[in-house]
Amino acid sequence: MSLIKQLWIAIALVMSLAFGGSLVVSTLSARHYLTQQLTVKNLDNATSLALSLSQLDKDPVEVELQIAAQFDAGHYRLIRLVDPSGQVIAERVNNGPAGGAPEWFIRLVPIAPQAGVAQVQDGWNRFGTLTLESHSRYVYESLWSGMLMLLAWFVAGGALTGLAGTLLIKHITRPLGRVVEQAEAIGGRRFVTTEEPNTAEFRSVVRAMNLLSERVRGMLAEESQRIEQLRRQHQHDELTGLLTRNQFLNQLDTALARDDEQAGGVLAIARLGDLERLNRQLGRPQADRLLQDVALCFDAAVGEHEGWESGRLNGTDFALLACGAQDAGAICRDLRARLDALLDGTAVEPAPRLPMGAAAFTQGEARTHLLARVDGALASAEQTGERALCLADADHEAPRHADLADWRRTLLHALDTHGVQLGEYPVIGSGGELLHHEAPMRLHLDGGWQGAGYFMPWAARLGLLARLDIAVLHAALRKIGETGRALGINVSADSLRDAAFRSELFASLQAHPAQAGHLWIEVPEYGVLRHQAEFRALCLALKPLGCRVGIEHAGRQFSRIGDLHDLGLDYLKVDTSMVRGIDTDTGNQNVLRGLCVVAHAIGLTVIGEGVSNEAEARTLIGLGVDGLTGPGIRGA
Amino acid sequence: MSSTRHSPASSALRRFAWVLCCAGVLSWWIAGVAAPDFDRMQRLAVERYGQRAGETVTAWRALLAEAAETDERTRLERVNTFFNRRIAFDDDIVVWGEQDYWATPLETMGKGAGDCEDFSIAKYMSLLQLGVPAERLRMIYVRARIGGPQSTISQAHMVVGYYATPDAEPLILDNLIGEIRPASRRGDLFPVFSFNSEGLWVGGASTSSADPTTRLSRWRDVLERMRAEGLR
């Protein structure tokens, strides 16, 4: 039973005991008092009537009249005069009902006053004995009305006390509600802090929980900072801060395999010539400075673009990977302009050579093939000039659809006609058990079912992602209903910001509570980082609905893991670029090991994405990863 | 009369009220023990008024014991003579320091003095103790003419009347003269009003001594004090 109910029962019990007890006592004492008064009245009236009768001539009519007058003018039940031999001389009786109060009340609280008895004298002789009883009607009346009034007071008092009690209970339990909320949040791995309430007992509980949350938060912040440092040391070039060759190539692999709205893109490589001459002319520190400045240009080109990366492939080669970008020319010209401005500013004569080659790629192209094409373009640029820019020919066929309007028509038509189909890629736990199936979307386009990479970039540009995500959600719920198996679906960053999508999501999940328990909803890491407020609201709203919420493609911003402690997240999918070649990459192993410790501390399940072979899987599990998915993973 | 009916519920309620009040229970219990406690009276007399008073009470007890063997007329004589001889007449203001004080038999015997009410009360109570029914006895307020048949001086007085039968002429037990005479031979007395303890207090019966209204009536008050002294 809840505390509030118990308090209420206690109040009601105390109230009825106090009021009921005082009602009984006051009624009884009133009865006692009234009985006494009635007895005294009987005695006194009998004496005074006997006295006046004693003074009277004992004419029968006069005696009768005297008694009748007293009886009629007063409030009597009985006046009787009996002569010494027992004969009744005169009698007046009012046997009317006691009245004035209900019968049950009279039965419950009877009043039995003593009758008044007095002697009537005729000279020296005895004339008779007078017996007098007052009517008890008015006694019952006053007793009854007194009790009713008390009852009314008690009811009013009870109502008032109840009201005050309610307010008091509300006042007392307001902080209790917050305490319970916080305890449940912590139980749900959301390490929140709340304001300390005024009630001493609650305050110490809340203080303890706040302390716990603060400690967890501090520990997470520290740990995630450490992991981030580890990752930077390992994945970034010491001098320029750009990605190392290994990590850049991992990213490139991931980018080529992507099938979301950022599938496809542009790869550009610039080569700084005459490094030895520069070292000689400028001295080592100045040459390093120049390298750092070039890196800064690449960083600036990456800017705020999500999914773009820059790396230093070797001493002289700098690379830019622009995922999801369509217009290779524009990107390269922008980068070229930045580099030219830098070169113009150097004090070296002749100015350093920095030719650049680039190529656009689509999802699925082999890495070696792409690199060969870019190398070809770079070679042409080196031939062409010191600051030349060469674009490799587009490798793929002509655009499938002429323009955006055409894409919109095609996508909507496919959605309306065929709906979406969901793929099924198993995600297994470390013991080989099935966690869920990833269910990427497929649309029937251009004569066949196409994977997401085929159309997602266009859908993103057309702002159709929310509509597609809703279609996926409905398809997933339907499929869970049919098969009863857990499914994982993606929610794009755009959808996260879409209020209509969010309300549709909540409504659908509320309508299908059974299916919701089998649904895993994941949002890409860059979406989470970019729209933190929306993601936070989404987590808190989805939590009670029973579905699981996670982050996919995690691996670039570990320092922010600490911020996730109060969201109640369920799982974290680590990006392919972290997983690729993990069996040989001790640096990434260290990072992942740390990540698992922190994630487990806040109850997150860690899942490795893009696992391609048995060695990677074994290593990941050894590092503490809880789940695996990817081309090397087959369903249980 | 509905108020005289007693349902189980009401007796339960009443009992509850008694439980709330321990003193009530105690007095009820004491009052319930109904028999004259002469030893107690004797003890109280010695304690309060000294050895002489004790002797008077002893004599009184002997009188009661002896007279019980005789007929009613003799009882009247013995009681009347006992008090008229043993008790000196004096005003309340002298004996008790009060204008009008109704003393119990014990107090009267203790002081060895009293006024007309005190004589009447003592005689009345003694006769009740001797088994004379209360209905044959009356305390009678009379106007007494003092100083011979032609005198115009009169004073308030009280005597005990005894009615052998309901219609009989009463015998008057008075402290002004030693002998008992029938009312017709007491031309100096004019009856005004009479009362007795019928309906109020009958030897052996019990009323609640917790009832504070008894103290407001001199008659009921003195009856109550007698009971406390052991005369029941």
- Give the model confidence (pLDDT) of A489-506 as tens digits: 999 888 888 889 999 999
**Per-residue model confidence (pLDDT) at position B7:** 45
Whether B145 contacts B183, CB under 8 Å: no
Q: Report the distance separating Cα B173 and Cα B169, nearest Å.
A: 13
Question: For residue B8, what pLDDT is reported?
Answer: 46
What is the pLDDT confidence band of residue A396, given thresholds at 50, 70 and 90?
low
Q: Is it the case that residue A427 has pLDDT exceeding 70?
A: yes
CA–CA distance, A605 with A624 (Å, rounded to integer): 10
What does the pLDDT look like over B143-183, one tens digit per residue?
Answer: 999 888 888 888 899 999 999 988 888 999 999 888 999 99
Q: How confident is the model at residue A545 (pLDDT cuts 50, 70, 90)?
A: confident
**Which pLDDT does position B122 carry in this prediction?**
93
- Shared domain check, A137 and A65: yes
What does the pLDDT read at residue B81? 94
* Domain with A321 in it: 239-391
Q: Per-residue pLDDT averaged across A160-171, rounded?
A: 83
pLDDT digits (tens, 9 = 90+) for A22-47: 888 988 898 888 888 888 899 899 99
* Residue A20 domain flag: yes
Nearest residue in B to A109, CA atom: B10
Report the complex ipTM: 0.72
CATH code of residue A313: 3.30.70.270
Given this model, what pLDDT does residue B208 score?
42
Rg (CA), chain A: 48
pLDDT at B5: 42
**What is the torsion angle, in degrees rounded to the nearest 10, for the CA atoms of residue A303, residue A304, residue A307 and residue A313?**
20
Tell me the mean pLDDT in the region A213-237.
Answer: 86
Q: Examine residue A171 and state whether it is found in any structural domain, yes or no.
A: no
Cβ distance of B191 and A47 shorter than 8 Å: no
CATH number, domain of A610, equals: 3.20.20.450
Count the Cβ atoms, other than its own, within 10 Å of residue A398.
7
Q: What is the pLDDT of residues A81-93, one digit of tens each?
A: 998 888 999 999 9
Domain-located, residue A606 = yes
- Tens of pLDDT, residue by residue over B104-133, are 999 999 999 999 999 999 999 999 999 898
Task: Tell me which residue has tokens 């009519």.
Answer: A61
Among the candidates A125, A160, A195, a domain finishes at A160
Task: Evaluate if residue A393 carries a pLDDT over 80.
Answer: no
Whether B9 shows a pLDDT value over 50: the answer reads: no
Whether A547 and A608 map to the same domain: the answer is yes
Q: H or E stretch including A25?
A: helix A3-55
Tell me whether B136 touches chain A (CB under 8 Å): no
Beta-sheet strands, E only, within A394-504: 420-422, 425-429, 434-438, 441-445, 448-450, 487-490
- Kindly determine whether residue A98 and residue B20, on different chains, have CB atoms separated by under 8 Å: no
pLDDT at A620 over 60: yes
% of chain A surpassing 70 pLDDT:
98
> What pLDDT is attached to residue A280?
85
Q: Which of A391, A418, A442 is the last residue of a domain?
A: A391
User: pLDDT tier at B80 (50, 70, 90 boundaries)?
Assistant: very high
* The last residue of a domain, from among A366, A391, A416: A391
Percent of chain A scored above 90 by pLDDT? Answer: 22
Q: Which residue has the tokens 């002896």?
A: B66
- Give the pLDDT confidence of A52-77 residue by residue, as tens digits: 998 888 888 989 999 998 898 888 98
Q: Distances from the Cα of A76 to the Cαs of A80, A562, B200, in angstroms? A: 11, 93, 19
Rounded mean pLDDT of A159-180? 82
Contacts with A77 from chain B: Cβ below 8 Å: 1
Q: Are residues A509 and A378 in the same domain?
A: no
The helix (run of H) or strand (run of E) holding residue B120 is: helix B116-129
Q: Which residue has the higher pLDDT, A314 or A7?
A: A314
**Mean pLDDT across chain B, nearest whole number?**
80
B27 in A contact zone (CB under 8 Å)? no
In a domain, B14, yes or no: no
**Residues A475 and A624 occupy one common structural domain:** yes
How many structural domains comprise chain A? 3
Tell me how close the Cα of B20 comes to any Cα of chain A, in angstroms.
Answer: 9
pLDDT of residue A380: 85
Give the mean pLDDT of A290-312. Answer: 88
Digit-coded pLDDT (tens) for A45-55: 999 999 999 88
Q: Does A77 touch chain B (CB under 8 A)?
A: yes
Same domain, A378 and A426: no
pLDDT of B23 > 50? The answer is no
Q: A569-585, pLDDT tens digit by residue?
A: 899 999 988 898 899 98
Residue B53 resides in a domain = yes
The pLDDT value recorded for residue B25 is: 42
Task: Provide the shortest C-alpha distance from residue B10 to chain A (in Å).
Answer: 5
For residues A303 and A431, membership in a common domain is answered with no
Tell me the pLDDT of chain A averaged across its residues.
Answer: 86
| One domain for residues A452 and A367 | no
Q: Is residue A16 part of a domain?
A: yes
Would residue B15 count as lying in a domain? Answer: no
Chain B residues touching residue A37 (CB < 8 angstroms): 213
Nearest-Cα distance to chain A for B167, in Å, is: 7
Q: Which of A566, A494, A488, A568 is nearest to A526 (CA)?
A: A494
Residue B19, in any domain of the structure? no
Q: Higher-confidence residue: A384 or B156? A: B156
Is the domain of A541 the same as that of A437? Answer: yes
- Four-CA torsion A539, A543, A546, A547, nearest 10 degrees: 10
Q: Output the pLDDT for position A398.
A: 55
Binning pLDDT at 50, 70 and 90, where does residue B76 land?
very high
B191-221 per-position pLDDT tens digit: 988 888 876 644 333 444 445 566 667 888 8
Same domain, A340 and A463: no
b/e A187-226 (16+ beta carbons within 10 angstroms → b): eebbbbbeebbebeebeebbeebbeebeebbebbbebbee
Q: Answer yes or no: do A119 and B10 touch at CB < 8 A.
A: no
- Flag whether B165 is in a domain: yes
Q: Please, which pLDDT band fits residue B28 given cuts at 50, 70 and 90?
A: very low
| The predicted structure's pLDDT at residue A269 | 92
The whole-number pLDDT of residue B203 equals: 39
Across residues A462-469, what is the average pLDDT?
A: 89
Shared domain for A604 and A505, answered yes or no, is: yes
B26 inside domain: no
Does A175 reside within a domain?
Answer: no
Say if residue A111's pLDDT is above 90: no
Among partner residues A108, A129, A131, which is closest to B9 by beta-carbon distance?
A: A108
Same domain, A434 and A572: yes
User: What is the pLDDT at residue A319?
Assistant: 93
Q: Find the residue in A nearest to B12 (Cα).
A: A108
Q: What is the CATH number of the domain that holds B196?
A: 3.10.620.30
Inter-chain touch A40–B213, beta carbons under 8 Å = yes
Cα atoms found within 13 Å of the Cα of residue A29, Cβ hemisphere only = 8
Q: Is residue B79 part of a domain?
A: yes
Is B227 part of the contact surface with chain A (CB cutoff 8 Å)? no
Start-end of H helices in A345-451: 367-384, 404-418
Q: Is residue B160 part of a domain?
A: yes
Q: Mind listing the pLDDT tens digit for each residue in A344-367?
A: 887 777 778 889 999 988 888 888
Q: Find chain B residues with C-beta within 8 A of A43's C-beta.
A: 200, 217, 220
Average pLDDT over residues A142-166: 85
Structure confidence at residue A635 (pLDDT): 67
Residue ranges making up the domain that contains B141 = 33-229
Task: Specify whether A409 is located in the same domain as A385.
Answer: no
**Structural domains in chain B (count):** 1
Lowest mean pLDDT among A140-144, A187-191, A320-324, A520-524: A187-191
Q: Which residue in B has a C-alpha nearest to residue A56's C-alpha?
A: B192
Decide which of A49 and A176 is more confident: A49
pLDDT value for A428: 92
